[in-house]
Amino acid sequence: RHTRRPINNRTRRGSMAALPTEEEAKAALQGGADSWRNLVLRALAFGTEYHVVVTQQQAASSSGDLRGRLPSRAEEAANLLATSLEGYIAQIHHEAPQDTAFSIQDQMKSDPVINATVESLWTVGCLVSSEDESKPPTEGGAGGGDQSPKQISNDCLVTIIRELARPRTAQQSNQMDTTDDSSPPPNNLPLIPTSLLQTSLELQLLEQVGMLPKAIPLKKKNPNQPDKTPASDAVRRLRKLNTDLYYRQNKFNLLAEESEGYAKLLNYLIVGIRDGGVTAPGAVRHVTELIGAFDLDPNRVLDLSLDVLECSLRDAVRSGEARSFADVRKGGEDEWGISHLRSSL
């Protein structure tokens, strides 16, 4: 039999969520990603009371009460999640081959339990975030006296994320329960990979946690222009990156920049069309495929095509099939090689 923690009257009333026990956390880890996600949401509800704040059950006058009890509850929830994840990661490290710590971090990025934790943090972060949160939270998770209940809940969520993203030392890893003969996880690694948090959480929340690089200061044309924040700078970089990926086309104009593509193009124009017996639609399709495969400049392709056409016409006129202008009167335009010129065109 396991002894349960006493539940106070306020927990029974339903206005506050109860913190899950360590036995419940271990059972949730063994039950899979869905059961662990439900437990993480229960722990976040205990540490942030997002379910109460979002439903507007907390009045503005209760901000002082929230500020007094939520920081300590957030620390308890963070300690529970950190202790459970430490044991889970130690088990992964014990079962995995003895490779580098980098391979373990890659395995954690695709682990369903770790991803369920990040998804729960993102869900609660979207619920408690507000547009007027311009000041970063303090280290202790509590802000100033003029904060709204949603802002206080958001600060407690930041405290929990910081605890889960903080690198673990060997002393902290040895404090967990190792009765299952599992070796501790690698040293100086966070419980949740930083890159996974950076690609999953919102930019505003990442800025408050401190996971965004500092914004590059620029010269202000207007003295009243506000300073750039890490979130706004990240939005600008992402917008530029998306433009380069999806809207900007790389075109190589010089033959030396894409020698293989232009060599195949000239070989097809000079030899393929003349000896291959291809049709005009087939030639257009093949040239278009070469442009797309090697990022050739369409204007330069047109210029080379005209050069090849000019050489073909010159060869046709100078060949033995072309007669003198005086012989045209005898047999008409075919005597001068007009049909050969049309095939070249």
Whole-model pTM? 0.62
Q: What is the rounded (10 degree) CA torsion for 27, 29, 32, 33?
A: 130
- Contact between 199 and 116 under an 8 Å Cβ cutoff? The reply is no
The predicted pLDDT at position 40 comes to: 93
Q: Which pLDDT belongs to residue 11? A: 40
- Structure confidence at residue 117 (pLDDT): 94
* Contact criterion met (CB below 8 Å) for 132 and 206: no
Amino acid found at 53: V
Q: Which stretches in the chain have pLDDT values below 50?
A: 1-15, 60-61, 133-134, 140-143, 170-171, 173-182, 322, 324-326, 329, 335
Return the number of other C-beta atoms located less than 10 Å from residue 31's C-beta: 12
What is the predicted pLDDT for the residue at 173?
47
- Token pair 């975030």 in the structure block, residue: 129
3-state secondary structure of 296: strand
Residue 108's pLDDT is what?
82
